[in-house]
Structure formats: C-alpha cells, structure tokens
A = this chain, B = another copy of it.
C-alpha cells in the first residue's frame, strides 16, 4: 500500500514540524507552514488516512497529530534527505577527534565525547570486538612470588594485560619458557579459536611439572578470553533531562536507570550489530525507533549505531541515543562524519 505523493509530503511535514516544535501538528498549521496547494480539509482527509494506516496518531481527540513509531520509520527509510554538515561543524568534529592521542581506546573515547557534544544526546561506544584479532605476542612477567602479569599484544595494535596468581615456587625461567612456548604456538591464531585445550597443547613441550602447569595455563587462558570481552562506554546521560520528552520524572528515571545498566545496553548494541551483519544489509548506520528498542524506558528514544573499523578483522560500534523526536538527518550526518574521522585516525595508528 504505497502512499501517494501528497500523503508522503504530509507525513514528512508532520514529522518535521513535530520535531521542530514538540507540538501536535494540526491541518491548519500545516497549511500555514508549508506550500500545499490544497485546503486544510483535504489535508484532514489525508491525515485521517495516514492515521488509519498507522503512520500518525492523536494524543487525544481534539489535538493535532504526532508521528507514530511507524511514521518515524517511514520517514527515516524513505522520506528524509541526509543533509551535509557545514564547514564549521566539520571542523569542530575534526578538531576534537584528530590530534595528539595515540592510543586506540583513548581515540574512541574522544570520538564518543565529540559525538555527544555535537548531537546533544547520549553517545556510546563499544570496545573493539577482538575475537577475530590474532595474537602477536604473549609475555608473562613475574611480579613477585605467586603473582605474574600476562601481557597480550593483539593484531589490531591492542595491548591487554591481566595480573594472575601463579604457584609460589614457579621460577622466572620456567615462566619465560612457558610464555615462549605458548606464544610460539598461538601466534597468528584468532582469539576466538583459542580454547583451553589449544593453550594446553601449545605448552606441551615445556618440562614443567603438570599440576603446576595446569594452574598457570588456566590463568593464561582466562587472560586471553578476557581480552575478548566487550565493554561499553556511555556519555552524556544527563543531557536527556534537557528534553521535554523526558520532563516527566518517571520517564527520565526509567531511561537513566536502564542506561546505567551498561551490560544490558552493551548486549543490546551487540545484538543490533549481529542482526545487521547477518541480514546482509549494508547501510552505514543502524537505527531503532521507539518500541522497536527492546529496552525498558527507551520507548521515547531512538537508538542509532554505526560501525568503526580497526584493521581488517576488528570492529566496534559507536552510537547515539536521543529522543525519537529528533532531527534524524542532522544526527545521522554527524554520526557518519564522526565515524569517518574515527576510522581515518584509527588507520593512522596501525
């Protein structure tokens, strides 16, 4: 059931006006603000039809219309045109992201910060998904008797480490031999193919007594697995309080409560990413609107994410969470630009 041209224009105008004013849009104000060559009565008919089809809805009988989730969906999928950033906006973003930082994690964080500043919304970033990266180096450093530091250098230029407990009477030499053996056998293997058995096999030809070995191997193994763990960084949560969409304390609380559970949000972003990857669609961004977001308290939000890349096999996400009554075009173009810059800077690091 395709919408005819005028209905499309009407829907577009309603979304635009509602985003701009936060007031339900009536047929009359639509006529005033836009060049429709028909009367308000005609628009009223169109609006009744749009409502019947589920694109717009009424807060109450005698009010104007507001877009439904489906209406926003139609808008972002086929009605809006992504606008380009001004020179100044571009410069601001560039200035904040590029520069002196020379560690990936810090770079990603500064991109996230920039994203929140530029949009005025909550921004987020996921740590790079390292399961496809491979081991380049592994060192085990004795710290003191019973304690060692496992240092992993991964292909994406990432360094991870973890303090582990080891048997007291393990010597420095044994440690070096062991890490050498593991390193030799596992270098080049993607993290997600490393299992405890792989690690055990790798260490076979060291002449360390087996019970001792087992404990250290287990620790080394968990260190490797931990490197693979996702973490999320959120910024600007408090900015949501500035939007009238969350002026009710209850909504605001639900929203911030959910956002404070970073594990949950991380899981959701991950899910979005997987879905996008398997669906084969190759948009430069993913978007979820209102009830499409399966997180409590985000019914009035939209959730937009994009993917950044570190080398060939490693990627992560950045994203924005804002009121669903947002200027999608601006937000998307800003996020797109931040992503682009971030990718460029990440490339420089490797």
Contacts and interface: CB of A to CB of B under 8 A. Distances in A.
A350 to B, nearest CB: 10
Given A149-B159, A247-B249, A256-B237, A141 B143 contact: no
A257 interface: yes
Contacts of A102: 163, 165
Nearest to A139: B141
A241 B260 CA distance: 13
A290 B238 CA distance: 21
Contacts of A241: 249, 252-253, 256
A160 B236 CA distance: 28
Interface string A235-258: 111100110000101001100110
A335 interface: no
Contacts of A165: 102
Contacts of A136: 143-144
Q: How large is the interface on A (under 10, 10 to 19, 20 to 34, 35 or more residues)?
A: 20 to 34
B159 A161 contact: yes
A103 interface: yes
A230 interface: no
Contact of A253 (B149, B235, B238): B238
Interface string A140-162: 01011001010101000101010
Interface in A239-298: 241-242, 247, 249, 252-253, 256-257, 259-260
Contacts of A144: 136, 153
A187 interface: no
Contacts of A242: 253
A256 B260 CA distance: 13
Nearest to A261: B238
Contacts of A40: none
Nearest to A258: B238
Contacts of A235: 260
Contact of A163 (B103, B237, B252, B259): B103
Nearest to A257: B238
A236 B253 CA distance: 11
A137 interface: yes
Interface in A207-253: 235-238, 241-242, 247, 249, 252-253
Given A161-B161, A237-B237, 4 more contacts: A136-B144, A159-B163, A235-B260, A249-B249
14 contacts: A102-B163, A136-B143, A136-B144, A141-B151, A143-B153, A149-B153, A151-B151, A236-B260, A237-B260, A238-B257, A241-B252, A241-B256, A242-B253, A252-B252
